[in-house]
Amino acid sequence: MSYSFAGTSVLKGALKVRFANSDARAKQLAKLGDTDVNIVPLPYAMDKVQAVAFLLESGFAKSDAVRTALEAEVAPKTKAKAPRTVRVRAKSVKSKAKVKSTDATEAEVDALYSAVYGNQ
């Protein structure tokens, strides 16, 4: 999506990077409780990455907090991955003992495999 305006505002003490297609967005943000609304027109329609690059190059980011917020806006978003579990079904051929299926992590499966087959 492309935007014609970009800037920052402060909402409940948090600095936010804002993108808009109209200068009326600044009035709307102020009405919704944002303070220090500073939205500027872009030279042409830009996506978020281009708009942030323009703001950084044009001297818009006069403070470190604004520069950090702009850089964080375009930084790759990463999600913490949950540990993966692998279902192991163990069957005993020689033993008559009953073995139940359990959920095991990959590390536990690797440890069991090494114990049974050795390091290969």
Domain parsing of the chain, residue ranges: 3-74, 85-117
Pick from 59, 56, 35: nearest CA to 46: 56
Q: Is the pLDDT of residue 23 over 80?
A: yes
Confidence of residue 37 (pLDDT cuts 50, 70, 90): confident
Q: How far apart are CA 72 and CA 67, in angstroms?
A: 9
Q: Has residue 92 got a pLDDT over 60?
A: no
Q: Decide if pLDDT at 96 tops 70.
A: no
Q: CA 72 from chain center: how many Å?
A: 9
* Choice between 103 and 13, residue whose per-residue pLDDT is larger: 13
Query: Looking at per-residue confidence, does 105 or 67 come out higher?
Result: 67
For the ranges 28-37, 74-83, 109-118, the maximum mean pLDDT occurs at 28-37
Confirm whether pTM is higher than 0.75: no
In sign, the C-alpha dihedral spanning 38, 42, 46, 51 is negative
More confident residue, 103 or 33: 33
The overall average pLDDT reported for the chain is 78
**Higher confidence at residue 78 or residue 65?**
65
